[in-house]
Amino acid sequence: MVSYEGLLVRLREKGITKTDLTKELGISSRTIAKIAKGEKIGAVTLRKMAEYLGCDPSLLCREIAANAVLQILRDEKSAKISGGLYHELQVRMTYNSNHMEGSRLTEAETRLIFETNTVDVGDGIPVDDILETVHHFRAIDYVIDMAETELTGEFIKHLHYILEHDTADSRLPWFAVGEYKKRANMIGGRETVRPKDVPGKMQELLDAYNAKTNVTVNDVIAFHADFESIHPFQDGNGRVGRLVALKECLRHGIIPFIIEDSKKLFYYRGLSEWGREKGWLTDTCLDGQDTFIRLLDTLEIPHS
């Protein structure tokens, strides 16, 4: 949907009616009706209006996401609003996701980095913990910006690049930053998909998922479990997978889930037992959805 709030404001300021626009610029009543309904109008027409009103076309309209939560995140991100949903999502998801993977930064230290862009941490904190925290902030930004696009392998690879570039691992000749793994790996003692088979398996997974209509939270959880079982990257699979789940929830109007570090044992058990028992991971992710709902309630943001 498109908001023409900027256009309407400028018309009021200049005392111009929509009828005046049709006469002065030769715009059809059908185009005026589109503006009223929040539908897109042609770039040429928009440019003519901007020239008539003496402003840039970008000031007349903006895209509005169908998902109200996504729109709030985008608005707060753009306006750099402190203490809102965007702020708390960045801090809470980054802390929990990184801490689950071994980061030694506390939530308070993570918050400090996000809020002040400074570091005041105790002795012995690895540089990579700090880098990966900042990278995770940027990855969430990328997810918010690209939320409504179709999920692709290239998007997932770029998430991995954002998270892992400039880290110690990225300097290893065999560590493929932003690319699928080159060496076989295991998770929890279990074999994962071999490197040569990863591209094909990932494409199969993406094709099957993108063919779905009316995607539900259960579909997102299932994709996440299958993604983690493939384990397409040398490292960083958990963080990438949880960011993908965030994107897909925002894309399909689903309340996202934040897996808290305190629930990581339930989460890992759910992933390892997915092929036999789907309820454990599902329950953990739904608990994470409740965590997000409580955040929305605290900030008095409506949700359904």
Instruction: Show binding-site residues.
Output: 235-242, 267-268
Helix ranges, the chain (H): 5-14, 18-25, 29-37, 43-53, 68-79, 85-100, 107-116, 127-146, 153-164, 198-210, 217-230, 237-251, 264-272, 279-298
* β-bridge mates for residue 186, sequence order: 191
Enumerate the known binding-site residues for ATP.
235-242, 267-268
Q: Is the dihedral of CA 143, 146, 150, 151 positive or negative?
A: negative
Contact assessment for residue 99 and residue 38, using Cβ atoms and an 8 Å cutoff: no
Burial class (CB in 10 A: 0-12, 13-18, 19+), 213: exposed
Given 165, 231, 252, 303, which residue is catalytic? 231
Contact assessment for residue 114 and residue 130, using Cβ atoms and an 8 Å cutoff: no
* β-bridge mates for residue 187, sequence order: 190
Alpha-carbon distance values, 216 to 65, 70, 96, 255, 273 (Å): 18, 17, 24, 10, 21
- Give φ, ψ of 275 to 5 degrees: -65, -20
Axis-axis angle for helices 217-230, 279-298 (nearest 10): 120
* Annotation marks residue 224 as catalytic: no
CA-to-CA distance for 68 and 85, rounded, in angstroms? 12
> Pick from 258, 222, 265: which is nearest to 243 by CA?
258
- The catalytic residue positions are 231
